[in-house]
Amino acid sequence: MSGILIGQSAINVLLLSGVLTIAALGFSIVWGVMNIINLVHGAAIMLGAYVTFIAFTFAGIDPFLTIPISMVLLFGLGYLIQRNIINYVMRAPMLTTFLLTFGLEIIIINLAQFFFKSDLRAITTGYSGSSLTLYADPAANSSIEVPYIKLGALIVALLLTLLTHLLMSRTRLGRAIRSTGMDKDAAQLTGARISTIYALTFAISAGLAGAAGSLIAMTQSFQPGFGGTYTLYAFVIVVLGGLGSVPAVFLGALAFSLITVLTGLWQPGLTQAAAFALLVIMLVVRPSGIAGKAFYQ
């Protein structure tokens, strides 16, 4: 393997892991704090992508500027879904919430197909084709390239990851969320209103999914069903990294990206098989994940 190929692959791993961290972060938080495997997560990512698509196509807003819009809209939607639907089955066994979120996902995707049609959508900005050349070898006619749009997405992703980490570890709300995740009754005895804490947790998760959707919309074409794949990715990433902290999600996303990029070099058709083989191995060998057990910080 040439140096340029190795360099380019390393860059690709980094670029991919940023977006995947954001895609998996909310999924991990809801799982860890509320004990829900949230299958609506991918649908929230999909809606974020359409927010960006619509704002860009019909209002001409730069896709990066649509990220806050996605986040706010999905935050609101997440709050409403938790408050008015999932909240009623919080005491039920995990299978109930699993099936409920599965049903919700199908409803949302179906509505999206109805309103947005199933056409493949993509966003092309003025800077979509251009990239930063890190290193070029004119003799071999090859170079290491960082597409500007992916570089921007990486920066946004890292920033949001850091902000989420600070929110969970340094704020009063984050502390209440972590307390609730560890011992719901004890948290109530300190005066935390559980229904509000859960609704905010779910809303934060959906807001992050919205941001992930916006970032993904800039770099790939999509249609209403695309989110499901990201729910699966989030699942693998959380198992890889371990449930319970923001850095663990980042580690998981990094490992997932590494496998994906390496397998892609060798046999592009097998990337998903490799990622899920890793999931299976991980569950058997080290179920607590790379980072081990912690609780949200």
Work out the angle at residue 18's Cα, subtended by the Cα atoms of residues 269 and 127, and round it to the nearest 5 degrees: 85
Q: Which residue has the tokens 């569950």?
A: 283
For residue 29, state whether it binds other proteins (rule: CB under 8 A).
no
Beta strands per DSSP E along 65-110: none
Q: What are the structure tokens assigned to 181, written together? A: 């995740």
**CA nearest 79: which of 24, 26, 22, 28?**
26
For residue 34, state whether it binds other proteins (rule: CB under 8 A).
no
Beta carbon nearer to other proteins, 106 or 175 = 175
In angstroms, what is the minimal distance from the CB of 91 to other proteins? 12
Q: What are the structure tokens assigned to 44, written together? A: 């929230």
Beta carbon nearer to other proteins, 117 or 193 = 193
Beta carbon nearer to other proteins, 45 or 199 = 199
For residue 179, state whether it binds other proteins (rule: CB under 8 A).
yes
For residue 188, state whether it binds other proteins (rule: CB under 8 A).
yes
Q: What are the structure tokens assigned to 110, written together? A: 């179906």
Q: Residues 205-244 vs other proteins: string with x where CB under 8 A?
A: ---------------------------------------x
**Among residues 19, 43, 67, 187, the one that binds other proteins under rule CB under 8 A:** 187
Beta carbon nearer to other proteins, 191 or 268 = 191
For residue 171, state whether it binds other proteins (rule: CB under 8 A).
no
Stretch that binds other proteins, among 44-52, 68-76, 94-102, 190-198 (CB under 8 A): 190-198
In angstroms, what is the minimal distance from the CB of 225 to other proteins? 37
Question: 289 with 242: CB under 8 angstroms?
Answer: yes
Count of residues interacting with other proteins (CB under 8 A): 19
For residue 176, state whether it binds other proteins (rule: CB under 8 A).
yes
**CA nearest 99: which of 47, 40, 27, 24?**
40
Beta carbon nearer to other proteins, 5 or 166 = 166
In angstroms, what is the minimal distance from the CB of 237 to other proteins? 21
Question: 24 with 37: CB under 8 angstroms?
Answer: no
Q: What are the angstrom distances between the C-alpha of 46 and each of 51, 222, 245?
A: 9, 8, 24
For residue 189, state whether it binds other proteins (rule: CB under 8 A).
yes
Q: Is 180 left (phi over 0), alpha (psi -120 to 50) or beta?
A: alpha
For residue 295, state whether it binds other proteins (rule: CB under 8 A).
yes
**CA nearest 127: which of 62, 198, 203?**
62
Stretch that binds other proteins, among 152-160, 179-187, 199-207, 234-242 (CB under 8 A): 179-187
Q: What are the structure tokens assigned to 223, written together? A: 């249609």
For residue 186, state whether it binds other proteins (rule: CB under 8 A).
yes
Q: What are the angstrom distances between the C-alpha of 159 and each of 13, 16, 271, 297?
A: 18, 15, 28, 15
For residue 268, state whether it binds other proteins (rule: CB under 8 A).
no
Would you tell me which residues interact with other proteins (CB under 8 A)? 172, 175-176, 178-179, 182-183, 185-193, 244, 294-295
